[in-house]
Chain A
Amino acid sequence: MSTAATPHGEFLQHHFTTAEQQADAGKIGMWLFLVTEVLLFGGLFVGFAIMQSLHREAFVAAHHQLDRVLGFINTVVLLTSSYTMVMAVHSARTDRRKRVVVYLLLTLICAGVFLGIKYVEYSHKFHEGLLPGRYYSHKGDTVPGQFMFFSFYFMMTGLHGVHILGGMAVIAWVLRRAARGDFSHAYYTPVDLVGLYWHLVDLIWIYLFPLLYLIK
């Protein structure tokens, strides 16, 4: 079988017939992967929901220790990064190769800012003794059981943070390929798939923010 029939055939793997077939397969694979991510986080959400219903007062009391302003800023940063990400995909589809690089770079910066703010939040929590599980040593709790809120806070934002880090790695990878000029309207699957992943990370934060910072 010949692969030279399609433009940019150098990216067509031997077992696919057309570039569209390859792109579709990639998308199906990515969506399936995203679903596994949803269910992975889903376990924590279910655990959180049930522990929160068993220890409602403790959870409400504990969440006052979180800084809403920082949480809000981080939400804005992440939403913006989703926008720059989708614009990178858009630019690839419309053959504006320079812009792809710029938008990917902006996304990477947003991700960095997000993690920076998380670092500030975490170090503040550590300082206060608001640590997960047995290391919890915060003084002056009014309701027993507040430590469990922070168990979930660290597990959920921690797992999310790991995903941000992973996202930054793959964004850096497509950024390199974009700079090399690999992407065009005929072939932009990697940007597209990384974009899907990044939006999912954003989507999970959309739920984490009200659940952790705004519960009553």
Chain B
Amino acid sequence: MTGNYLSSPRGLKSWLITVDHKRIGLMYLFSVLFAFLLGGIFAMLIRIELLKPGHNIMSADTYNRVFTLHGAIMIFLFIIPSIPASLGNFVLPLMLGAKDVAFPRLNLASYYIYVAGALFAIAAMVTGAVDTGWTFYTPYSTTTNGSVGLMTFAVFVLGFSSIFTGINFIATIHKLRAPGMGWFRMPLFAWGIYATAIIQVLATPVIGITLLLIIMERVFSVGIFNPQLGGDPILFQHFFWFYSHPAVYIMILPGMAIISEVIPCFSRKTIFGYKAIAYSSIAIAGVSFLVWGHHMFVSGQSQLANAIFSFLTFLVAIPSGVKVFNWIATMYRGSISLEAPMLYAISFLLLFAIGGLTGLFLGALATDVHLHDTYFVVAHFHFVMMGGTVMAFLSGLHYWWPKMFGRMYSEKWARVSAALIFVGFNVTFLSQFVLGSRGMPRRYYSYLDQFQPLHVFSTVGSWVLGLGFLIMAVYLWASLRRPMDAPANPWGATGLEWQTPSPPPEHNFENAPSVTRGPYDYSSPEPTSAEVEA
């Protein structure tokens, strides 16, 4: 056996110019984790400032910048690239039995464009920052001071990174599946990534042009979004949400994709309703383009559009519900063990259920009018994004960690941290549903005294949450200092990525695999979906 991908070829330069999807995946992983840390620090600062009404640790002006940076960093630098570009990059070609993605150099370009975008964002941060909120609503964003131009340009650049990843994955899934792997023998992770990539390709260019228009508006006063010049600020919201609503599915679909891998593995049972889960991913991608107007129910959008968008919004609940029921049915009569990946998967199920169900309140017109722009929306969004995507990301991270680094982590500490994160998360955000229902608007620097007890509750929750992540950082770091002892297939999983050593060799497989059976063949005597040809 030749060396693994981590050690050969050697040297920093070999990493910087690598076109190996595994290495690019790792570089993405560490970059998004750094972004997560940065966004997380801003989140903690927000919660501390909100401990009591009025000035605590920062001025209103600083607060506005901090919550904007929290949102922009978490969304554009962390959660959009998190699963697809890091875990997806690493795992997808392995799962398909391919040697690499279709366009390895484009993949590397995507990473460096991400880095460039991040540098622009940091430049925006240090040159006056941005106080618009991550939504950049006009005319506020076109009239306020600060580095709005630089920040929007950063997001524009990051969009290209996302588009290139999407193009790469679609071409890879179409053309590089191992011999014998038909569309319906693909792991569901690949289906989820495929649906995600469709949205990345179709929606991202629109945010690109929207942000360019903001820059144009600031530099030239072109007028399109400026009400004083005959433009239409509500049109900006259409432009923005045409991308940003599908974008939340760019964030959640890969999470769902991970859950579809982890639950069968730790239940040691065939996935229930494979085709339903696969098609529901595509259905979500399709419907996601038709519901953006539910962000605009009180914006002054026409009532006709409100009615249409409300109806279409409810349709998107169905494929999500189908997935949840299928995952639960997969556990029925399984052989369930609760290692860290499965703990996070179960956290995902419970928290995503709450996130999804509270979406019903926001889809229905009458209740949305009351709850719009309140903490209820903040809580709903965090349940779906953090309770959903981040839990799934952590599940996938723990699931594939041995594959990526060839080392196991401390299972005991992983469980402690999973428990702390679950409890801390609920304390932080369940209270915000109540705050929102009672009329606490979002993006408030200060608030009425009556809301204080729940804010204190929420802030204390954020400390528990932070402690959970701190523990995770420690035991994951510690695992990297251990000898490489992870077996090729520590969880007894099917799927081609487990048929190669941990960590995999430079070109993924010693021998090109071919597939003769469906995925998730856990019910057969031999837990393997593929035979490796000699």
Contacts and interface: CB of A to CB of B under 8 A. Distances in A.
B517 interface: no
B231 interface: yes
B230 A54 contact: yes
B171 A32 contact: yes
A25 B176 contact: yes
Contacts of A132: 216, 220, 222
A54 B167 CA distance: 37
Interface in A52-88: 54-55
B192 to A, nearest CB: 18
B233 interface: no
Contacts of B271: none
A148 B171 contact: no
Nearest to B166: A32
A13 B175 CA distance: 14
A133 interface: yes
Contact of B235 (A35, A40, A50): A50
A32 B201 CA distance: 7
How many chain A residues sit at the interface, stated as a range, is 35 or more
Interface in B260-316: none
A165 B49 CA distance: 50
Interface stretch (A41-49, A169-177, A194-202): A41-49
Interface string B183-222: 0000000000000000001111110111001001101111
B180 to A, nearest CB: 13
B36 to A, nearest CB: 27
Given A43-B213, A133-B220, A15 B201 contact: no
Interface in B417-432: none
B99 A29 contact: no
A148 B229 contact: yes
A92 to B, nearest CB: 21
Nearest to B219: A133
Nearest to B164: A33
A51 B175 contact: no
A121 interface: no
A187 interface: no
A43 B209 contact: yes
Contact of B205 (A13, A15, A43): A43
A119 interface: no
A29 B102 CA distance: 9
A126 interface: no
A37 B229 contact: no
B118 interface: no
Contacts, number: 122
A135 B512 CA distance: 62
A50 B230 CA distance: 11
B100 A36 contact: no
B222 A133 contact: yes
A176 B118 CA distance: 35
Nearest to A29: B171
Contact of B220 (A32, A135, A145): A135
A151 B210 contact: no
Given A36-B204, A47-B235, A28 B176 contact: no
A25 B174 contact: yes
B176 A15 contact: yes
Interface in A1-56: 1, 13-16, 21, 24-25, 28-29, 32-33, 35-44, 46-47, 50-51, 54-55
Contacts of A44: 209
Given A25-B175, A43-B239, A133-B223, A155 B205 contact: no
A39 B171 contact: no
Contacts of B163: 33, 36
B232 interface: yes
Contact of B201 (A35, A43, A135, A147): A35
Interface in B92-110: 98-104, 106
B224 interface: yes
Contacts of A24: 174-175
Contact of B104 (A15, A35, A151): A15
A134 interface: yes
Nearest to A38: B205
B170 interface: yes
Contacts of B217: 133
B221 A32 contact: no
B206 A43 contact: yes
Interface string A165-205: 00000000000000000000000000000000000000000
Contact of B209 (A16, A35, A40, A152): A40
Given A28-B170, A33-B167, A43-B213, 6 more contacts: A29-B167, A38-B205, A42-B209, A55-B230, A148-B230, A151-B222
Interface of B: 98-104, 106, 163, 166-168, 170-172, 174-176, 201-206, 208-210, 213, 216-217, 219-224, 229-232, 235, 239, 507, 512
Closest CB pairs A-B (n = 4)? A133-B220, A43-B209, A151-B222, A39-B205
20 contacts: A15-B98, A21-B176, A28-B171, A29-B167, A32-B171, A33-B167, A39-B205, A39-B206, A40-B209, A42-B209, A43-B209, A47-B235, A50-B232, A51-B231, A54-B232, A132-B220, A133-B217, A147-B229, A148-B223, A148-B224
